Amino acid sequence: MRYSSKTTIFGLPLVSIALGPNFETKEMRGVARGIIAVGDIAFGGLAMGGISLGIVPIGGIAIGGLGIGGFSIGIIAMGGLCIGGLVLGGMAIGIKAVGGFAIGLYAKGGYALGWLSPG
- 93 close to 76: Cβ distance less than 8 angstroms: no
Return per-residue pLDDT of the chain as tens, 119 residues: 899 999 989 889 999 999 998 888 888 899 999 999 999 999 999 999 999 999 999 999 999 999 999 999 999 999 999 999 999 999 999 999 999 999 999 999 999 999 886 65
Domain boundaries, the chain: 2-114
Q: Give the separation between CA 46 and CA 48, rounded to whole angstroms.
A: 7
Q: Is the whole-model pTM more than 0.75?
A: yes
